[in-house]
Amino acid sequence: MKFRATCIILLSIFVITAHAQRRRRRTSTNDTITSNYEPAELFSPMFYKDKGTEFHSASGAPGPKYWQNRVDYSLDAAIDTVSKTLTCTEKITYTNNSPDALPFLWLQLDQNTYKPDARSNFATGFSPSPNQHTNGYEIAAVMINRGDVMQHVDFVVSDTRMQIRLPKPIIPNGGGITLIIKYKYVIPGNFGGRNDFFDTKNGKVYEIAQWFPRMCVYDDSHGWDTLPFLGPGEFYLEYGDIDYKVTLPSDMIIGGSGELLNPAEVLTAKQIARLNEARNSDKTIMIRNADEVTQASSRPKTGGTLTWHFRMNNTRDVAFGASRAYIWDAARVNLPGGKKSLAMSVYPVESEGNEAWGRATEYLKKSMEYFSEKWFVYPYPVAVNEAGIAGGMEYPGIVFDGYTDKGGELYWVTAHEIGHNWFPMIVGSNERRYAFMDEGFNTFIDIYAADAFNHGEFAPKRDGEYAPDKGNPADEIVPTIADPNAPIIITAADAVPEKYRHPIEYYKPAFGLVLLREQILGTDRFDYAFRNYIRNWAYKHPQPEDFFRSMDNGGGEDLSWFWNGWFYHNWSLELALIDAKYVNNDPKQGIQVTVANKEQMAMPFAVEVKLKDGTKKRMNLPVETWLQNKAITFVIPTTTEAESVTVDPDAALPDMNRKNNTMAVK
Ligand SMILES: [Zn+2]
């Protein structure tokens, strides 16, 4: 019985299939249209290289056995402003949650990127001049804590990495170790880029980042991820709590990551009162105004040093700016669920004024409120906008922006750099390898933040990162896609030439997500899937496939064709309207339209008919149109005379040639 029933069902399917195929063949007359499109290449059924695991689930979420190591830091640093030296004792508490015993550790020594023989001097083609070097980290001691005894251990420095060889392995599944590292380094001058100092009218400004040896990530993708710091590929760091103290001349102010724990020791009573006022104010409150910068009374003590004490929990890094030249202002940040944070800016008098840094805190506050409302609540008690020469650099809870930036430029850079607190600082992807999960995702959220800011005061976002010629992003991306020398999005971050850095790491992935949101999934399905991805991977380490799988699962589509064509290839889209005529020459019977897909990419698309009565009629065709066809003929049901038909009427798709998209109806 069973066998017989199966036979009948199979036979029926065969008949139906054969009939369907015959029918389709008869109506399709488009096989002669020339096209480079190969559906089998775009719609590969074997896109994902690996199956889901217990660690990284097939759904894109962390699996039930996902693990991640933890690092807590305690730092006690001092800056000598005469010798420009930072000296520090660092305590690292490392927890090995992996299933592997660890006989050695690897740490990041980013300051070694300034050494004359650093690999970074040769990697990018922009070799620094001979006086743009330091000696990097000078490590005085590395010790491990064994009970009450500190034991010196062997370490090996290789470029920007340090290996610590342990006397016995750290046991898996929760074993730990405490390390003490004593070191110093000379702070690079204005060539440092992100570790620098420069002169202003009222004194030097220091920007201090990547300033302590940080643990490399040990994960289930590469084990120890020891890629050297070359500049373009940024950071991949573990999460934990960072407690840090910085001692420097008493006339200096620090704007730093995390909460200031000892305001009574380093601020005046007036400044503490003003900070409390700012915590309850949507308007920016001056903590130290321009006049006060030069007044000794704006510091709690004259001469000697002061020690500033900060703490930031559940973070992967901390940075700070320090200067006696800082104006300081602040305002409350209103977060979902009644939560609050504090936005602050520190800047020299050169940056003063409403055209410039006078609005920096407003830009910071509004960006934080928008990203929190839209994607994930900002988790830290403060955020600082610091004016310097790093020219746009992000760290957890602090951004370094250009002190000469003004207006829209300052708004865009502020929104962008604080946006990095979501990608890749809350969602801790590996930006040293995958720049698109850092710059691309952040640029994407910035586009909508600009639309939302102050009724679009600086919208739409058009800058060096996104549609730099200030035109239609869908058109401006076309030359990059068509450029045979352009790398694909999935290129090692350090292997993307500077010329392509913004187009390929920022613009193309950001616009790709716009296409996904606005043209493929729709805003509701996209936002739901993207929020799930963010929540699932907050404070964790997603890999690119975790993102792709998250969007497939949350959006309910197999999007491998899109990841394949847009992220793994620079495949071009070229839709062409081939024909538009009345069915049987009769306007009452509708318009028969033929559209060809002439290059390797495919997209869902809209077709619009302009009727002679002035109205318009639209049809939306799904991406499945291109599963089997290089060209498709279909009827738009109309009953009156039409003027013209247009493919992609909103110019929303990155169509190589728009000239063949419109045609008069014959
Ligand atoms: Zn960026």
Which residues, listed in sequence order, are joined to residue 139 by a DSSP beta bridge?
183
User: Ligand 1 centroid vs 296 CA: distance in angstroms?
Assistant: 38
User: Ligand 1 centroid vs 498 CA: distance in angstroms?
Assistant: 14
Residue 91 and residue 60 share a domain: no
Q: Which DSSP state fits 216?
A: P
3-class SS string, 485-530 = CCCCCCCCHHHCCHHHHHHHHHHHHHHHHHHHHHHHHCHHHHHHHH
CATH number at residue 665: 2.60.40.10
What pLDDT score was predicted for residue 28?
55
Percentage of the residues of the chain whose pLDDT score is greater than 90? 92
408 inside domain: no
Residue 87 and residue 223 share a domain: yes
User: Ligand 1 centroid vs 508 CA: distance in angstroms?
Assistant: 14
- 336-381 pLDDT tens trace: 999 999 999 999 999 999 999 999 999 999 999 999 999 999 999 9
Residue 192 and residue 145 share a domain: yes
What pLDDT score was predicted for residue 29?
60
Domain boundary, last residue among 238, 260, 277? 238
Is the predicted pLDDT of residue 602 greater than 50, yes or no? Answer: yes
**Residues with a beta carbon under 5 angstroms from ion ligand 1:** 439
What pLDDT score was predicted for residue 273?
98
Domain boundary, last residue among 519, 539, 571? 571
Query: Between the CA of residue 423 and those of 4, 234, 351, 430, 531, what are the distances in Å?
Result: 58, 12, 28, 10, 13
User: Ligand 1 centroid vs 442 CA: distance in angstroms?
Assistant: 7
The residue whose two tokens read 């708004």 is 411
Percentage of the residues of the chain whose pLDDT score is greater than 70? 96
Domain boundary, last residue among 550, 571, 592? 571
User: Ligand 1 centroid vs 399 CA: distance in angstroms?
Assistant: 10
User: Ligand 1 centroid vs 465 CA: distance in angstroms?
Assistant: 9
User: Ligand 1 centroid vs 429 CA: distance in angstroms?
Assistant: 14
Residue 605 and residue 462 share a domain: no
What pLDDT score was predicted for residue 401?
98
3-class SS string, 226-279 = CCCCCCCCCCCCCEEEEEEEEEEECCCEEEECCEECCHHHHCCHHHHHHHHHHC
**Averaged over 402-408, what is the pLDDT?**
97
User: Ligand 1 centroid vs 394 CA: distance in angstroms?
Assistant: 7
pLDDT grade for 282, boundaries at 50, 70 and 90: very high
246 inside domain: no
Residue 487 and residue 621 share a domain: no
Residue 210 and residue 90 share a domain: yes
pLDDT grade for 5, boundaries at 50, 70 and 90: very low
Residue 520 and residue 442 share a domain: yes
User: Ligand 1 centroid vs 105 CA: distance in angstroms?
Assistant: 29
Is the predicted pLDDT of residue 272 greater than 60, yes or no? Answer: yes
What pLDDT score was predicted for residue 103?
98
10 inside domain: no
Stated as kind and residue range, the H or E segment containing 61 is none
84 inside domain: yes
Q: How many CA atoms lie within 13 A of 147 on its CB side?
A: 1
CATH number at residue 438: 1.10.390.10
What pLDDT score was predicted for residue 129?
86
83 inside domain: yes
Range of the domain at 620: 574-666
pLDDT grade for 391, boundaries at 50, 70 and 90: confident
**Averaged over 51-75, what is the pLDDT?**
98
User: Ligand 1 centroid vs 416 CA: distance in angstroms?
Assistant: 6
User: Ligand 1 centroid vs 196 CA: distance in angstroms?
Assistant: 19
| Measured distance CA(83)–CA(206) in Å, rounded | 13
Residue 567 and residue 579 share a domain: no
The burial class, CB within 10 Å (0-12 / 13-18 / 19+), for 615 is: exposed
User: Ligand 1 centroid vs 573 CA: distance in angstroms?
Assistant: 28
Is the predicted pLDDT of residue 3 greater than 70, yes or no? Answer: no
Residue 135 and residue 226 share a domain: yes
What pLDDT score was predicted for residue 16?
38
Is the predicted pLDDT of residue 20 greater than 80, yes or no? Answer: no
Is the predicted pLDDT of residue 536 greater than 70, yes or no? Answer: yes
Is the predicted pLDDT of residue 158 greater than 70, yes or no? Answer: yes
User: Ligand 1 centroid vs 443 CA: distance in angstroms?
Assistant: 7
User: Ligand 1 centroid vs 64 CA: distance in angstroms?
Assistant: 32
**Averaged over 221-244, what is the pLDDT?**
96
The total of other beta-carbon atoms located within 10 Å of residue 622's CB is 12
Total domain count for the chain?
Answer: 3
User: Ligand 1 centroid vs 505 CA: distance in angstroms?
Assistant: 9
259 inside domain: no
Average confidence score pLDDT of the chain: 94
CATH number at residue 152: 2.60.40
Quick one: which of 481, 372, 345, 482 has its CA closest to 426? Answer: 372
Residue 128 and residue 61 share a domain: no
- 178-225 pLDDT tens trace: 999 999 999 999 999 899 999 999 999 999 999 999 999 999 999 999
460, 466 contact by CB (below 8 A): no
- 143-153 pLDDT tens trace: 998 778 899 99
27 inside domain: no
User: Ligand 1 centroid vs 420 CA: distance in angstroms?
Assistant: 7
User: Ligand 1 centroid vs 247 CA: distance in angstroms?
Assistant: 30
pLDDT grade for 651, boundaries at 50, 70 and 90: very high
pLDDT grade for 131, boundaries at 50, 70 and 90: confident
User: Ligand 1 centroid vs 237 CA: distance in angstroms?
Assistant: 17
Residue 590 and residue 519 share a domain: no
What pLDDT score was predicted for residue 2?
39
Residue 640 and residue 512 share a domain: no
User: Ligand 1 centroid vs 571 CA: distance in angstroms?
Assistant: 25
| Measured distance CA(276)–CA(269) in Å, rounded | 11
2 inside domain: no
